[in-house]
Amino acid sequence: MNDILTFKPIYKTKIWGGNKLKNNFGKTDAPQATGESWEVSAVAGNASQIANGAFAGEFFDALVKKYPMEIMGKRLYKKYGIFFPLLVKLIDASDNLSVQVHPDDNAAKKVEGTNAFGKTEMWYVLQADKGSSLISGFKRNVNREKYLKSVANNDILDILAVYKVKAGDAFYIPAGRVHAIGRGILVVEVQQTSDTTYRIFDYNRKGSDDKLRELHTEKAKQALNFDGDDGAPLNLKDLGNGTRLVVQSPYFIINTLDIKQNIKTDYTHIDSFIILTGIAGKIFVNLDYEPQAELTAGKTVLIPHIVKNKITLSGQGKLLEIYIP
């Protein structure tokens, strides 16, 4: 286990999916109406396939089982075992996504069973059409009773907070916060490894079976958080040397890095694997100064814990840096 890992994307077609990944982000093999591209996944039945090196063709969940400490490090192995804790996606919304909420760990286990996990996530906007907006949280003074009345009256949209967005905006979506990506937006989504989603409202859309898509009204009631909900865009904090903190949470830390020249990364203080996702430009990820992977917008690599201190970055561009605190 001495490789930087690259992965074959897992494409998910959706009724709201688009073609930006295929046409604008180099994923020429993506089918029409691709709504999601799972870039790094160890979800059972939806695990990423390794695309490079000695492990090419193997599935990531199986690799984590074989080399958990080499990939995650001793600390994270002690905390998570062979459960890989993050899932990284690209989401292309050519139409509005459903209004939804994700449970936290406790609510997920209560509703879905003891093996379920919650889903806290972050969106980083890669591209947004002019005038695009998304939903993140409630407007002020919304309580449980007002929410339930809005659901019953089918006017839930009236109590939701809507934000205009542009490339470079970021939103933190903790479990329990109501949210929805709007049409014309493409985001990088970093989340806990979970695929539990409760739809609250879906614009009365029909699925492929010509029936209204299922809503999860009762489950959503148990997952929603009405206390202190502020879904405004994140204010990125300048950390110097071209690094800006996007978000620090119990589940992940995410920074942006502006690469303008060759740099030797210093990950000695980070006891975690590192995931890098390209935002702009072209950056080469080097192992012992030898190029191993190329990052352009929408491409992702994983640096195992065992090689994290042998990495240099070269080229010019911008990327997301993701790891576990």
- DSSP secondary structure string, 17-28? EESHHHHHSS-T
Mind telling me the catalytic residues? Answer: 199
Sign of CA dihedral 121, 258, 290, 75: negative
Nearest 10 degrees: Cα torsion 118, 122, 125, 126: -80
Alpha helices in the chain, H assignment, sequence order: 20-24, 60-66, 68-72, 74-80, 105-112, 144-153, 217-223
Closest of 106, 127, 89 to residue 277, by C-alpha: 89
Sequence-ordered list of residues with C-beta below 8 angstroms from that of 160, at least 6 positions apart, any chain: 99, 135, 137, 138, 139, 178, 180
For residue 10, what are its two tokens? 């897992």
Of the candidates 212, 202, 192, 195, the residue with the CA atom closest to the CA atom of residue 87: 192
